[in-house]
Amino acid sequence: MTELLRLESISRRFGGLQALQDISLSIRSGEVLGLIGPNGAGKTTLVNVITGVYPASSGKVLFKGQDIAKYKPYQTARIGLARTFQIVQPFPELSVLENASAAALFSQPDISVGGADEYALAQLEFVGLVEHIGKPAASLTLAMRKRLELAKALAMKPSLLFLDEVNAGLNSAEVEQAMLLIQKIASTGTTIVLIEHLMKVVVTVCSRIVVLHNGRLISEGTPNEVIQDPKVVEAYLGKRYSQVAGNHLKKPR
């Protein structure tokens, strides 16, 4: 796999708080990378730095060899980075189609309204929401709003997609459906970084995992390597959950 994104010694400080410290990481084209760690570890902050919400205090963000550390969110969107948010907030009074079309228009400045609608419709069909395109987003269930969030991100034509807690608040059946959808997205060749607390999901869909703790990268490797890493067991998983995650790895995929 070729390298798609490289972080070189990324740090981010908020006043006296060191949220990220000296993080170096490579993301390869076509992989599904799990980004895990305790609450407050810096996972979402790292995604915010990469996508331009916050500038890095120091270090480089190289996307396809180009330093994008000073880019704004609209600029990162237009070069192929997209994300979902843990707390989904669609435009409630707009229709499902209008929500997804707005994302296409935001990230593709040369697209027409009709072209945005057409592309958005294809993404809504991909995530299983085509029957709801005329409904206001406020009428959707949480699981459907999560799918709309995915469709909006896909409408931005990403080559690198960050999924932030897409399974939060879902029941077991909905999580299973979400896992299948993530794997379906990955099969299109889209590179995915998955922020997730459900280790069943992480070890099932991710080929590689990185672990943050207190703003530092403490472990990186295959799912089997990471869940057995003593630093990860101590800082995040605990022995019991490490064993549970290992049991998921042993199941046929």
- Tell which CATH architecture fits domain 1-80+159-253: 3-Layer(aba) Sandwich (3.40)
- The alpha-helical segments, DSSP class H, found in 112-237 are 113-127, 142-154, 172-187, 199-205, 223-227, 230-232
| Residue 96 to residues 48, 109, 202, Cα–Cα distance (Å) | 25, 21, 29
Structure tokens of 237? 């998983």
User: Looking at the predicted structure, is the pLDDT value of residue 217 above 90?
Assistant: yes
**What's the mean pLDDT when you consider all of the chain?**
93
Cα–Cα distances (Å) from 229 to 38, 43, 232, 241, 250, in that order, read: 15, 19, 5, 13, 17
pLDDT at residue number 109: 85
Kindly tell me if the per-residue pLDDT of 218 is higher than 70.
Answer: yes
Regarding predicted confidence, which is higher, 101 or 108?
101
Contact indicator for 139, 119 with CB cutoff of 8 Å: no
Segment 67-95, tens digit of pLDDT: 999 999 999 999 999 999 988 989 999 99
Pairing mode of beta strands 58-63, 3-14: antiparallel
The answer to which of 8-22, 140-154, 178-192, 223-237 has the lowest mean pLDDT is: 223-237
- Domain spans, the chain: 1-80+159-253, 88-157
Q: With contact defined as beta carbons under 8 Å apart, do 244 and 202 qualify? A: no
The span from the CA of 120 to the CA of 125, in Å, is 9
